[in-house]
Amino acid sequence: MQGFLYLVPAIVVFVAFVFYPLANSIKLSLYQTDLFGKGQVFVGVQQYKDIFASGDFGRSLKITFLYALYTVIPGIVISLLLALMANWRLAGIRVYRMIFSSPIVVAVASASIIWAMIFSPAQGMLRYILSLFGRPPVNWLADPKWALLSVSMVAVWRGLGFNTILLLSGIQSVSEELYESAKLDGAGPWTMFWKMTLPMISPVLMFLLVVSTINALQSFGEINILTQGGPAGSTKVVVYSIYREAFFNYNFGFAAAEAMVLFLIVLILTIIQFGLMERQVFYQ
């Protein structure tokens, strides 16, 4: 009973902000709603059938998975390189660590505005860099071919700080005695990285892969500020589709059904990731 009392505050928070909204969303997905989001007509699973009958949701889901592909693995790889550099024993390395981790304190709105100026085809930094190589300017956010990749670059940059801090802490937790023993046995830097560092930080890598995938599938802020799902729907991910359906079309029941489908997709992918990766994780 004493242990349960210690858990009561956390349980209250979870019930209020997780379980009740989840149950309410499930209920709402079974109703057609009025303009204020109140259930009016019970339609059962008809809205779920409409989701899969509509090609728009399938296209949004495809774009969401493509967005996750552009952001998750590149973000982890770049963060791992920065973490390895931040672990070097150099004068002033603390300054570099602070610089590498700085994106973690930048809000999504601020980051989006900064990158919108960088992407500007008239005066942006990328336009200047392309001009140095004699290349014409690219309309990064208005061209369907480049828009999703451009938004993905913003998401990767925003995630670098969090990923780098976690990976650096994992690298620094590896005992120096292991590296010294490996050097005595003739192991080179690549062998030590591949055979020692990666296995020892595999729990951190697994955590980042799962969390980054969930965040990518639920991404909204950058897309809402930079492209609003355009151009021509090329960046209309599932969460932005839910947002448009609820707050522009006022079809809250259908939006709740889309949210439940996304929830199940995220849950299934997370279970699959744990099942496939946990066997490869080395717990010290």
Question: Any idea where the domains of the chain sit in the sequence?
Answer: 40-101+162-280
Percentage of the chain lying above the pLDDT 90 cut? 58
Encoded tokens for 78: 């770049």
What pLDDT, on a 0 to 100 scale, did the predictor assign at position 114?
Answer: 93
Torsion sign (Cα): 205, 209, 212, 214: negative
At residue 280, does pLDDT exceed 80?
no
- What are 181's two structure tokens? 């023993």
Question: At 267, which amino acid appears?
Answer: L
The C-alpha angle 77, 271, 200, rounded to 5 degrees, equals 40
Q: What is the mean pLDDT of residues 224-242?
A: 93
Percent of the chain with pLDDT over 70: 99
Q: Give residue 180's identity as a one-letter amino acid code.
A: E
Looking at residue 284, what is its pLDDT?
A: 59
Over 70: is that where the pLDDT of 170 sits? yes
Give residue 194's Cα distance to chain centre. 26
Residue with token string 């590296």:
179
Question: Which has the higher per-residue pLDDT, 95 or 280?
Answer: 95
Average pLDDT over residues 121-147: 89
Quote the Cα angle for 182-183-187, to 5°: 70
Residue 123 has pLDDT above 90, yes or no: no
Residue 117, SS3 per DSSP = helix
pLDDT of residue 283: 64
Stretch (H or E) spanning 153: helix 147-172
Copy the structure tokens of residue 20: 């009740």
Q: Which amino acid is at 265?
A: I
pLDDT at 88: 85
Mean pLDDT for 62-75 is 95
- Neighbouring-strand partners of residue 41: 32
Q: Is the pLDDT of residue 15 over 90?
A: yes
Please give the pLDDT value at position 92. Answer: 81
The pTM is what? 0.90
Statement: residue 99 has pLDDT above 90: no
Average pLDDT value for residue range 195-201? 87
Give 281: exposed, middle or buried? Use CB within 10 Å, 0-12, 13-18, 19+. Answer: middle
Q: Is the pLDDT of residue 127 over 70?
A: yes
CATH architecture, range 40-101+162-280: Orthogonal Bundle (1.10)
- Round to whole Å and give the CA distance between 175 and 178: 6
Highest mean pLDDT among 29-43, 67-81, 171-185: 67-81
Averaged pLDDT for residues 224-240: 93
The secondary structure element, H or E, covering residue 230 is: none
Calculate the average pLDDT of the chain: 90
Q: What is the mean pLDDT of residues 104-110?
A: 91
Pairing between strand 39-42 and 31-33?
A: antiparallel
DSSP code for 133: T
DSSP assigned state of 236:
-
